[in-house]
Structure 1
Amino acid sequence: MSAPATRVPWTPPLVRVMAGLMLSLFVAAMDATVIGTALPTIAKELGSFQLYPWIVAGYLITATTTVPIWGRLADIRGRRPVLLAGLLIFIVASALCAASPGMAWLIVFRSLQGIGAGCIQPVVFTVIGDIFPFQQRARLQGLFSSMWAIASIVGPALGALFVSTIGWRWIFTINIPIGLVAAALLWGYAEHLPERAEKRKLDVRGTILLTIGVTLLLIGFGTGSQTATPNWLLVAIAIVLLGAFARLEWRSPDPTVPLKLLRHRVIGPAIAVAAVAGTLMFGVTAYVPLWVQAVQGGSAYHAGVAVGAMSIGWPVMSAISGFLMVRVGYQRLVVAGSLALLAGSLMLALGPASLGWVWTGAATLIIGAGMGTFTAPLLIVIQTSVDWGRRGAATALNQFSRTIGGAVGVSLMGVLLERYVASASAPLQGREQLQAGLHADFIVLVVLAVVVFATAIALLLASQKGRAGEVPAREQVSSG
């Protein structure tokens, strides 16, 4: 059961389904970005300041861990019931977050909210892959991909507005009506959301190993901690569990994460690009603000503008790449995007601090443009390379690899930075070492960009036998 080969007409029911999908994606994206500006106020009101990093960490851990599980469930149970279940969890958890009586409860409910959010993005993009043929899908995936970038601009501003006017609890309350409208639109128009895909079972043992392993990995690498130093014991245990998971999944006829997809000549390099690019993206978000404020002498506003420039380049090029893909093919877009990543990373690494935050913002703008150029094309080619029964898992694997790559990579970059700072023996030298440490992190970004570019070239060479855009049907990976 593949995506239709001919153009799908825009009927009123289809428009309503697409509106529901877009609202679902936007509310999940906005929720992930709106929390940042409200955290200090939440910590002040609820107390237990030492726990407040877990408001973000609990959400990140559950949202990341459940992505591949939701993707596989969408293949087994069908898109509609799985997406509605994820939305319901997200809506209920949002209401509970808004009513939280204390910090511990907020962390628990925020983690529950992450479980629902982990469903929304992979299943939404899977549905788009189901409904539309290649040409329409290329344009729509680009537009939908830009929702995250738009939310990264709208979310913090909305959070600041709520905190300064009606209170921080409204950053969660606002999710309820938006989520309910999205669910109503998707509930009433089921013809575009098949309810059942295939009669297979979820790999319970694999799911348990994956959940525990990824959770320990993220905690071990400092998620939720106020220090960047990893807990190597937890990391080691996580590696053992994930190794056992990989061995089990490789042999399973119904794996939660279809690792054999990585052997595909297109999917393997595409997933590698997603993982490495995720590290680069997270690295920019984590360390550019510190560079602007501590080294270049800019304000918090300047730091926000500098890193926010990435969120401007991303949606613009994401929308454009969706239209260009039909004309030039995904391979050229991936190469062009990787070159932009390399150019922006070189600007960060080679530009002296005296150039100021405007130079830094220009660099992140180019990096964002590069990410936007190849993110949607890579997703489309991954979806095109598998049949209906593997599309949900493949889509989830793409998102999962980007998030895991980012979380682990940023933590290791934090270790590198800490070693530079720890070697300082005086305050003045400490500032110099901080600059040296951040510069070392930017060199790491350049290396990552080179890896992305090399992988993009490999993807281009590996795809020479195919057409410029869509992967040949004979190379699709089936669910059988």
Structure 2
Amino acid sequence: MTSVVTAPPPVFARRYRAMSVGMVALILLLAFEYLAVATAMPVVGRELNGYHLYGLAFSGGLAATVIATVVGGRWSDARGPRAPLWTGIAGFIAGLAVAGAAPTMEVFLAGRFLQGLGGGLFNVALYVLVAQVYPAEMHPRVFSLLAAAWVLPSVVGPAIAGFVAQNLSWRWVFLAVPVLAAPAAFVLWRGLPGGEPQVREAMGRAFLPRLAWGAMAAAGAALLQYGSGTTGTGLPLVIAGLAVLAFALPRLLPSGTLRAARGLPTVVALRGLAAGAFFAAEVFVPLTLTRVRGLDPAQAGVALTGGALAWSLGSWIQGRGRFGRVPVLRAGTTMIAAGITITALTVFHQVPVLVAFGGWVLAGLGMGMVYPTLSVLVLELSAPGEEGRNSASLGIGESVFSIVAVAITGALFAGFDGRTPVYLLCFALLVVMAGTGTLIAGRFEHARRAGTMEV
């Protein structure tokens, strides 16, 4: 008898169309807001007389995201993803409204904190929803689509935000998004299948210690991020933040993550290493091109745009499912390391500046291959009822590894006054991070008991 392999339905097939469109629209808005805040913040700080609280606009929102990720994971596993999904969307919209209408910097910070809570809940619940609604064979294409949804905001988001902040008002950078988020949420609601899954269990007292560890990790991350951008008292804050994270983080991640134990711990470690290396290098690319090579910000931004477009291409390639997971992960992390290395060479004036653009495109292509592949694997390696917790661990690992990489390289750069050897040292540390990912890429595979599916 000849077996017939049926291809999975398209992501925008009639059955899944409304949900896919709603998810993509909300991710587009989430990505735009994430990228627009940095552009609008100088104007916000000036008009609200809040430069002394400037760093908290970023670290406070980040701390809220870490806490919400912990809560959202447990909430989604215990009660299903819908309640945290809608709570997260509502919190995100409410936070934007508070920030956009803020009369003082303190109120603006409260809005950013609420926005971070909403975004954290929404992201984790979305992973669990994908696991419940789409069949497993569709997951690579679904996550490829969600990764690609970041591309358009990466290309046009900062420019739009800058134009609005300068020519209209910075408040519309925040207030316009809720107007667009409401119809996107309605489309997503229309696409949800009928019937709420039964409650599996109560949240439980055991959840409270995990929440406490999450709050501690959030505080450590905020200290680290804030200290890396502060002169004078910055070093003690960085050290304190690292100490708090070293104590709290192992309690929030799968056992063995920090030593890349086989299976799920390696998936979480890989996401952290790849994202940390890429996002920290992304800080230095425009810095190198403007301060060392004399480009203006718009010209330097073309490199970041190229990386974003390459990320989309890499996501599309892995979504075709024609290559094994281990080769994709090894190739992707190798591309990130190689791309950062090539980009770093442009600190030497003898190297053509176009080399940086090519290097960053290569790094973006690698991230596009790695990022959605790990999103798929975290669901495949999760037992029923653990998707939320494990997706939360993936998000926490990504956030914290990225914060540590950005903070350490930023502190080195500031401490040694941005000399050329310091650029090279910072880039080298990030190449080591990505290269470590290449070395451990195959460790997500592990032996299964007889009769169970192999990964």
Task: Judge same fold: TM > 0.5, yes or no.
Answer: yes
Tell me, yes or no, if structure 1 residue 414 matches structure 2 residue 410.
Answer: yes
Give CA deviations for 1:119-146 in whole Å, capped at 9, x if unaligned. Answer: 2222223212222223322112111112
Unaligned runs of 5+ in 1: 247-256, 422-432, 467-471
Displacement of 1:309 after TM fit?
A: 2.5
- Call closer, same or farther: CA 1:158–1:388 in 2, change over 3 Å: farther
Per-residue Cα deviation, 1:147-185 (whole angstroms, up to 9, x for no partner): 223322232122023123332111111221222123323
Equivalent in the alignment of 1:315? 312
Tell me, in whole angstroms, the C-alpha distance in 2 between the residues paired with 1:456 and 1:358: 30
Q: Does 1:235 align with 2:241?
A: yes
Amino acid at match of 1:456: A
Structure 2, gaps ≥5 residues long? 1-5
- Looking at structure 2, the residues matched to 194 and 353 of structure 1 have their Cα atoms a distance apart, in angstroms, of 61
How far did residue 91 of structure 1 move?
Answer: 1.1
Q: Does 2:403 correspond to 1:394?
A: no
Aligned residue type for 1:238: V
> Could you list the per-position Cα deviations for residues 101-127 of structure 1 after superposition, in whole angstroms to 9, with x for gaps in the alignment?
111111111111111011222222321
CA distance in 1, matches of 2:246, 2:301: 39
CA distance in 2, matches of 1:377, 1:23: 21
- In structure 1, give the amino acid aligned to 2:217: G
Change (3 A) 1:13 1:170: farther
One-letter amino acid matched to 2:200: E
Question: Aligned partner of 1:282: which letter?
Answer: F
- Aligned pairs for 1:102-117 (under 5 A) are 102-117=104-119
Q: State yes or no: 1:434 paired with 2:434.
A: no
Contact between 2:98 and 2:110, CA under 8 Å: does it hold in 1? no
Q: 1:362 aligns with which of 358, 365, 368?
A: 358
Residue 446 of structure 1: how far off its partner (Å) = 1.8
Secondary structure in 1 aligned to 2:168? Answer: coil
2:380 corresponds to which of 370, 379, 384: 384
- Residue in structure 1 matching 2:440, options 424, 440, 455: 455
Residue pairs, 1:6-405, within 5 angstroms = 7=8, 12=14, 14-191=16-193, 194-202=196-204, 203-222=207-226, 225-227=229-231, 229=235, 231-232=237-238, 234-235=240-241, 238-239=244-245, 242=248, 246=251, 257=252, 259-260=254-255, 262=257, 265-323=262-320, 325=321, 327-351=322-346, 352-405=348-401
Post-superposition shift, 1:322? 0.8
Q: Describe the SS at the equivalent of 1:309.
A: helix
Contact persistence 1:58–1:111 (CA under 8 A) = yes
Contact persistence 2:66–2:217 (CA under 8 A): no
Identify the residue that residue 3 of structure 2 maps to in structure 1.
Answer: none
SS of residue in 1 equivalent to 2:350: helix
Identical columns (%): 22
Alpha-carbon shift at residue 216 of structure 1 (Å)? 2.7
Distance in 2 (alpha carbons) for counterparts of 1:190 and 1:332: 35
Query: Given that residues 80 and 186 in structure 1 are in contact (C-alpha distance below 8 angstroms), is that contact kept between their aligned partners in structure 2?
Result: no
Inter-partner Cα distance in structure 1 for 2:368 and 2:195: 27
Aligned residues: 440
C-alpha change, 1:380 and 1:212, in structure 2 (3 Å) is same
Distance between the aligned counterparts of 2:261 and 2:195, measured in 1?
Answer: 28
Q: Distance between the aligned counterparts of 2:192 and 2:86, measured in 1?
A: 11
Q: What is the TM-score of this pair, normalised by structure 1?
A: 0.84
Cα distance in structure 2, aligned partners of 1:83 and 1:277:
27
Residues 300 and 318 of structure 1: CA distance in aligned 2, closer, same or farther (over 3 Å): same
- The AA in structure 1 aligned to 2:272 is A
TM-score (norm 2): 0.88
Q: Is the 8 A contact 1:75 1:393 kept in 2?
A: yes
**1:194 CA displacement:** 3.6
Q: Given residue 142 of structure 1, which amino acid in structure 2 is its aligned partner?
A: S
Q: Is the 8 A contact 2:36 2:161 kept in 1?
A: yes
SS in 1 for 2:416: helix
Residues 223, 24 of structure 1: alpha-carbon distance in 2 compared, 3 angstrom cutoff: farther
Q: Is the 8 A contact 2:254 2:265 kept in 1?
A: no
Rounded to whole Å, the distance in 2 between the matches of 1:282 and 1:258 is 21
Name the amino acid aligned to 1:119: L
User: 1:314: how far off?
Assistant: 0.8
Q: Which amino acid aligns with 2:287?
A: L
When the two chains are superposed, the root-mean-square deviation of aligned CA atoms in Å is 2.7
Task: Give deviations 1:69-95, integer Å, cap 9, x for gaps.
Answer: 212211111111110010011111111
The Cα shift of 1:100 comes to 0.7
Q: Distance in 2 between matches of 1:190 and 1:141?
A: 17
**Equivalent position amino acid for 2:135 in 1:** P
Give the counterpart letter for 2:329 in structure 1.
V
- Hey, what's the Cα distance between the residues in 2 that align with 1:197 and 1:12? 29
Change in CA separation of 1:90 and 1:366 when aligned onto 2, cut-off 3 Å: same
| Secondary structure of the structure 1 residue equivalent to 2:16 | helix
Residue 240 of structure 2 aligns to which amino acid in structure 1?
Answer: L
